[in-house]
Structure 1
Amino acid sequence: MSLRLSTVILPYRRWSEGGRSAWLRAEQLGFHTAYTYDHLSWRSFRDGPWFGAVPTLTAAAGVTERLHLGTLVTSPNFRHPVTLAKELISLDDISGGRITLGIGAGGTGFDATALGQEPWSPRERADRLAEFVPLLDRLLSEDAVSYEGRFYSAHEARNIPGCIQRPRLPFAVAATGPRGLKLAARYGQAWVTTGDPKLYESGTPEQSVEALRGQFAKLSEACADAGRDLAGLEKVLLTGFTPDRARPLQSLDAFVDFAGRHQELGFTEIVIHWPIQDSDFAADEKVFEQIAMEAAAQLG
């Protein structure tokens, strides 16, 4: 199976000052999908410009024709399934059916406290995601939904005409733990990982590959339990968070080597961050564009 190459465009630039041109360029370069983070703010960008994911993707849908678009990732930290479903159906319609929803449990960053609440524990985040995903699945697939849960409710929520993509737009579920992997196997059209966060600071590339191999094994078990063929699930690696995070964008050869090793594990899509100077995602833009245009042919 050929390897898809996609990118993440962080929403830190005004649309008129480089925002629009990045999405247009992503389509010109031939990326399969251009994603953006669905955060209220993020790490080192907290005290600078940062725009909303859904309006940004809506604008991107209006200036592109073929490029798939999506979030990496949306979480329950500040989203509710009922209102999110309406926005996603609208976005899917505006884009002509080019939207993927990356979704995960979220973390303890700025999103977790922006609404005034205390950060949820890992168990609480997993509990909420386990209710959020099935309800969102229904809201995007059914004309009217009523539901009363522990965390979320819906009363005759109408979502006509539904998604252009049937039975609904695809979910890319970010998960490494057993409960999240179960959701990916049950509801996901794709699975997303960033690797093992415990290896971020002091791990080796070899340890990272082994950790990812272990995640694949657990995903395979979850798919088997769900009566699903693992081959039917796309496997997405969001780069930038493994021990060798800087190396893949240093040269075309370095990227092909990195991507090839991960393709052998079973990944079907590699996602690289659009270069942002003076940040965690600094890279040579010429090398980035060379990778976008030439790497896929070398990887097959």
Structure 2
Amino acid sequence: MRLSTVILPVRRWSQGGREVWRRAEELGFHTAYTYDHLSWRSFRDRPWFGALPTLTAAAEATSRLRLGTLVTSPNFRHPVTLAKELISLDDISGGRFTLGIGAGGSGFDASALIREGEAAWTPRERADRFGEFVPLLDRLLTHEVVSYEGTYYVAQEVRNIPGCVQRPRLPFAVAATGPRGLRLAARYGQAWVTTGDPKIADTGTPAESVAAVARQVEGLRAACSETGRDAAEPEKILLTGFTPDRNRPLESLDAFVDFAGSYAELGFDEIVIHWPIPDSDFDTDLQVFERIATEGPAQLAG
């Protein structure tokens, strides 16, 4: 099982931001992701920088570490302009970029681009947009010239030359829990991402969470079968911090190995943990975190 991290874009690049990404590479993380939000939850009135410029800088500051978003969504992005930025980032990083992509949430920043007086998108509307967003983005990243006119998006003779360094395009890690999203993951995703079952995040037990994720895995298998794809092909990624046990996996190395082992048994290929941020929901002991990074994967493999 691979171990990756999420580095939230809260640090000025000249005041520790660069060093965190370099340290992630030194510690041996497989991928370092960041959130693609305008701001987020408890960080609403705190520093928060843009995801793609941060990842571009991180690409120059590192040489081996894979980089990615977790996740980008239609809340803030248009497929045409996003595709151009992704091709550029894939080139700058030397083919080290993974696009984590999801339908988007309903947090306060999700309405930042909606006109005053207009209703925020419902879950169904977000799913509808996502269902158009992903296939169009796939086309834009795999064809030199694309024209398209849909319900939500338009592309008129859009050119994306020379395309991605990674072929046929950079990998998608599709975040999904419901049937429609899982079908998109099965069809377009090189990986599938889950944070667990949000319905039991605050009220469930760790065992109930594992059982809920097991049902999601079965849903992915069914979606793969429906699309004629080998169910073992999409990799499975768990973003931690949102299951009922929250930050318990980062309390100690043993706690992490016990937690991650439960999901390894479900066939997960990658576990993602949040880089510590003082005075936040991700305020974790840095020494414990670094020990997990350096010793955790070997213990899981053993």
Which residue does the alignment assign to 1:43? 41
* 2:60 counterpart letter in structure 1: G
Determine the C-alpha separation between the residues in 1 that align with 2:299 and 2:139: 41
* 2:13 counterpart letter in structure 1: W
Output the TM-score relative to the length of structure 2. 0.98
Given that residues 5 and 31 in structure 2 are in contact (C-alpha distance below 8 angstroms), is that contact kept between their aligned partners in structure 1?
A: yes
Q: Quote how far apart the aligned CAs of 1:172 are.
A: 0.2
* 2:151 counterpart letter in structure 1: R
Q: Quote how far apart the aligned CAs of 1:268 are.
A: 0.4
Q: Is the aligned partner of 1:180 residue 2:178? A: no
Determine the C-alpha separation between the residues in 1 that align with 2:109 and 2:152: 18
Q: Quote how far apart the aligned CAs of 1:202 are.
A: 1.3
* 1:56 counterpart letter in structure 2: T
Which residue does the alignment assign to 2:61? 63
Q: Quote how far apart the aligned CAs of 1:65 are.
A: 0.3
**Greater CA deviation, 108-117 or 54-63?**
108-117
CA deviations on 1:70-122 (whole Å, 9 max, x unpaired) are 00000000100000000000000000000000000001113321113432000
* 1:37 counterpart letter in structure 2: Y
Determine the C-alpha separation between the residues in 2 that align with 1:245 and 1:229: 32
Which residue does the alignment assign to 2:251? 250
Number of residues of Structure 1 aligned to a counterpart in Structure 2 = 298
Instruction: Report 1:117-136 matches (<5 A).
Output: 117=115, 118-136=119-137
Instruction: Report 1:218-297 matches (<5 A).
Output: 218-297=219-298
Q: Is the aligned partner of 1:72 residue 2:70? A: yes
Given that residues 213 and 265 in structure 1 are in contact (C-alpha distance below 8 angstroms), is that contact kept between their aligned partners in structure 2?
A: yes
* 2:299 counterpart letter in structure 1: Q
Determine the C-alpha separation between the residues in 2 that align with 1:92 and 1:246: 32
Q: Is the aligned partner of 1:211 residue 2:212? A: yes
Instruction: Report 1:114-153 matches (<5 A).
Output: 114-117=112-115, 118-153=119-154
Determine the C-alpha separation between the residues in 1 that align with 2:258 and 2:206: 12
CA deviations on 1:96-154 (whole Å, 9 max, x unpaired) are 00000000000111332111343200000000000000000000000000000000000
Which residue does the alignment assign to 2:109? 111
* 1:239 counterpart letter in structure 2: T
Q: In angstroms, what is the RMSD of aligned CA positions?
A: 0.6
Which residue does the alignment assign to 2:13? 15
* 2:127 counterpart letter in structure 1: A
The percent of aligned pairs where both chains have the same amino acid is 76
Which residue does the alignment assign to 2:3? 5
Which residue does the alignment assign to 2:89? 91
Q: Quote how far apart the aligned CAs of 1:248 are.
A: 0.4
| DSSP-derived class of the 1:126 partner | helix
* 1:54 counterpart letter in structure 2: L
Q: Which runs of 4+ in 1 moved over 4 A?
A: none
Determine the C-alpha separation between the residues in 1 that align with 2:159 and 2:109: 28
| DSSP-derived class of the 2:146 partner | strand
Determine the C-alpha separation between the residues in 2 that align with 1:35 and 1:78: 17
Determine the C-alpha separation between the residues in 1 that align with 2:124 and 2:38: 22
Which residue does the alignment assign to 2:26? 28
Given that residues 5 and 32 in structure 1 are in contact (C-alpha distance below 8 angstroms), is that contact kept between their aligned partners in structure 2?
A: yes
Given that residues 40 and 111 in structure 1 are in contact (C-alpha distance below 8 angstroms), is that contact kept between their aligned partners in structure 2?
A: yes
* 1:207 counterpart letter in structure 2: E
Determine the C-alpha separation between the residues in 2 that align with 1:123 and 1:261: 32
Determine the C-alpha separation between the residues in 2 that align with 1:80 and 1:279: 31
Given that residues 6 and 32 in structure 2 are in contact (C-alpha distance below 8 angstroms), is that contact kept between their aligned partners in structure 1?
A: yes
Q: Quote how far apart the aligned CAs of 1:187 are.
A: 0.2
